Structure formats: C-alpha cells, structure tokens
Structure 1
Amino acid sequence: MSMGMGMSMGMGIVDQLTRAAGDGDAALVARLLGEGVGVDAPDSEGHTALDLAVRRGHADVVRLLIAAGADPEQRAGEYQESTPLCLAAAHGHTAVVRALLDAGAHTGAQGRMSHAPLVLAATTGDEGHPETVDLLLDHGADINVVMKDRTPLDWAVWFGQVPMVQQLLDRGATPTAKACTTAHERTERHPESRQKYERIIDALLAADPATCTEPAIRHACDQENGTGTTPSGMRRR
C-alpha cells in the first residue's frame, strides 16, 4: 500500500490538507483543493491549512491557499487567539508576512489579544526580526502603535535589544520618557546588563535629548504603576 493511500485511509481529507500545508507540500495542497476540500475548513484539532502553513513559514503554500480563497485575517494560533499576520511576524517569517500583506491583511492591533504585529516582530527572538520590521513599516504599520501601554520602541528598550532600538529610531520611532525611564530602571536592576542599557540611553538622547531630562523621567515614573506586562501578557518581575 502506498504512503498516499495509507494517509487517505488513516485521516480525513481536511486533515490531509492541513498536514500537507504544514509540511509545505504545495503539490498535494493544490490537488486536495482541486478535489473540493474547503480551504478554510478546520481539521480534527481545530486548525486550518493557512494557520499551519503560516506558522511553519511556507510562503508558497500561503500564497496558494490565499489564491484559493483562504481568509488572510482568520483566527489562528493554538487557541484561536491570534491571526496569521501576528504569527508570521512573531516567527520572523518575512516572506509569509509579505504574502499576507499582499493579500490585504491589516497591520493594526488584531486577534483576541489585540496584538500588534510590529511589536511582535520587533521583540520576539533574541534581537527581534529586523527584515520583518522593515517590511511592516514599508507597508504602513504605525511605528508608534501602542500595545499593552508600550510602543515597539518601549518594548525593545525593555528587552535590552540595542540593534532594534536603533533600527526603530532610525525609522522614525518617537523616543518616550517611558523608554528612557525603563532603560534607567533596567540598568539598576540588572547591573550585568548595564553596558547595553547605557548604549540604549545614549541612542535615545541622540534622537531626542528632551526625553531623558529629569522632569520627563520623573513624570514617566509617576505614570508607572509597577505592574507592567510583557507583550505575551506575563507580568514583569
């Protein structure tokens, strides 16, 4: 018995489609769609073909599914809490992000968690995903979008991502007193990382000296309630 026959007998046709999409098997995806499988039909675990193709970075399959009518702004993620664009941005799948943007996916806050794709692209991984950030900005993403009370720049400062802080500033991000306050606080709390936070403070000062004045920092401190969150929703320590 062939592998294809075994798969057909062992799982439903929708499950075959989602597995093929997750595996990046564009030929099989095209064949199954041609046989009439619903492009956005959920499989036995509740996932669609687009969801899995996006998560695994298969841009060619993503374009194929969208051409067949897949909704680029459908619910996605393990618990249907996200969107294809947020998932692609968080994973740094730039080619997938491009395919979704070409299909009309919007760049603002989205999904059940109201995540901003730009914040996810800027802060996930050790240093964010620079190419994905540039692509989103080139397609009109708001560089000062606020997610959980912080801008992408504020979050990059929080995580001590020196190159991303500089990239966002170079692209026109507005330095904030909150960003400068965060850099000073992180320097005090994490002396082992003092050098990188001092580099961040220097970058913020170079972009706008007024952001790190004593009155601005004091005002920002007054606004902080001490229970900030990370982009993923975890409370800071």
Structure 2
Amino acid sequence: MGMVDQLTRAADDGDATLVARLLGEGVDADAPDSEGRTALDLAVRRGHADVVRLLIAAGADPEQRTGEYQESTPLCLASMHGHTAVVRALLDAGVHTGAQGRMGHAPLVLAATTGDEGHPETVDLLLDHGAHINAVMKDRTPLDWAVWFGQVPMVQQLLDRGATPTVKTLTTAHERSERHPESRHNYERIIDALLAAAPPTHTDPTIRHAYDQETGRAPHRQTCAVGKGQLPRFRPRG
C-alpha cells in the first residue's frame, strides 16, 4: 500500500497519530488515493475533528471538492452528518457558510433537514458563525425545508433564531398536511408555530384570501403594518 493510501486509510479510521506521522514524512495532505478520495474528505465524512485539524494545518484545502462524485464540500458533508466538531474546525479555518459545491448546497439547510429532526447543535453553530437564516436553496429557505419535512422542533428552533415565515411557508405546511394525513398533527403544530412567530402585519385582503384558500380557516382580522411577502398574523377561530 502506498503512503497516500496509508494516509487516507488512517484518516478514515481516525488514527491521528499515524496521520501526523505520515504528514511529517512528507505525504501531501491533499493527495487523492487510489480511489480518488482525499484524507480530508474521509476524515470529515467520519467525523474525526482532530484529524481534520491536523490535515488543514498541513495544508489541506478546507474548501476542496469532496464526495464520491466531487459534488460536495467538507462543510456540506459535516453539516449533513451533524458532525458539529468538524464544522467548528472548518469554520475556524475560515470556510464560508454560503451556498457551495457544484450543487449549490447550503450547509445550514443540510444541517437543519437531514436525519429525522436535523442537527440542532450544528444549526446553532452555523448561525453563530454568520450563516444567513433566510438563505435560499432550490427556492426554499431552511425554514421552508424544515416545514416541508415536518420537523417540528427544527421549525421552532429556526423561528426562535429569527427565521421569517412567509405565505409560501404556511402554504407548504398546509399542502404537506393534506398530502400526509398520518402526519397532520405535526403539521398543525407547525402551522400554529408559524402563526405565533409571524411578524405584525397589515390585514392585506389578497394575502388574507390566499390564507383562507390554502388553510380553510377563517382568520380574525388585525390591523398592523406589513412587509411584502411576509405572513400575516392570523388568529384561527375555534
């Protein structure tokens, strides 16, 4: 086995001692192995934060292309798997939090929506390091995606961190509730959370009509100011 393959295997195994020795012997930190994967790619995927820091210190590119098809980035992989310590190591190395990789994935969206309930600690870390809470990936914000997947705790976490619900967000919740009656209770909780968190708005008749059409609820009217595209604060009857 060549030294590069030894390095990538050690990184995959989380063997920081062997990784440090091989790097000290002059193995290129970013050299791809016989399968085209780098040590950083494999260490990130496995969640070995100590190895990630060693590789970056030895010159590995923290924003390199990763994944079987070079479709991702280290931060996207770490965010998707909820490897918060690895995310911290990458952010400490100066990695940006915006859309990245050839797929244009947003690390915050990946952290918020992968797994059954997303990865709350990773989400908070990304937000604390400047990730835009209303950033758009494939025409949806992190909140929109969390609503789409019916992730009640994550929806509440994003709202608590300042995510802005819109008419589109509420419409998504209602449509998903209709299509997935087995999860209707979760979507009803999400709708209530969206309404409770909505910024004060003017009772725009167009928006109110859209609300009525999408939810089938009869809202109480309130008089307040509105921002374009923002969700009015409706109070469902009953």
Q: Which TM-score bucket, shorter chain as reference?
A: 0.7 to 0.9
Matched, 1:35 2:15: no
8 A Cα contact 1:204 1:211, kept in partner: no
Q: How many residues align?
A: 211
Matched, 1:104 2:98: no
Where does residue 38 of structure 2 map in the other structure?
48
Q: Deviations over 1:150-178 (max 9, x none)?
A: 00000000000000000000000010111
* Seq. identity, %: 86
> Given the two structures, how large is their TM-score scaled by the length of structure 2?
0.85
1:214 maps to which of 189, 195, 208: 208
1:164 maps to which of 145, 154, 157: 154
- Once the two structures are TM-superposed, the CA of residue 215 in structure 1 deviates from its matched residue by 3.6
- Once the two structures are TM-superposed, the CA of residue 140 in structure 1 deviates from its matched residue by 0.3
Q: Deviations over 1:69-116 (max 9, x none)?
A: 111000101111000000000000000000000000000000010000
Where does residue 142 of structure 1 map in the other structure?
132
8 A Cα contact 1:211 1:217, kept in partner: no
Within a 5 Å distance, the mapping from 1:189-204 to structure 2 comes to 189-204=179-194
Q: Detail structure 1 runs of 4+ shifted over 4 Å in the superposition.
A: 209-213, 216-220
1:68 maps to which of 58, 74, 85: 58
**Alpha-carbon RMSD:** 1.9
List gaps (5 residues or longer) in structure 1. Answer: 1-10, 221-237
Where does residue 117 of structure 1 map in the other structure?
107
Structure number having the greater helix percentage: 1
Where does residue 119 of structure 2 map in the other structure?
129
Residues 119 and 211 (structure 1 numbering): CA distance in 2 closer, same or farther, change over 3 Å? farther
List gaps (5 residues or longer) in structure 2. Answer: 215-238
> Given the two structures, how large is their TM-score scaled by the length of structure 1?
0.85
Cα distance in structure 2, aligned partners of 1:211 and 1:39? 57
- Once the two structures are TM-superposed, the CA of residue 217 in structure 1 deviates from its matched residue by 4.2
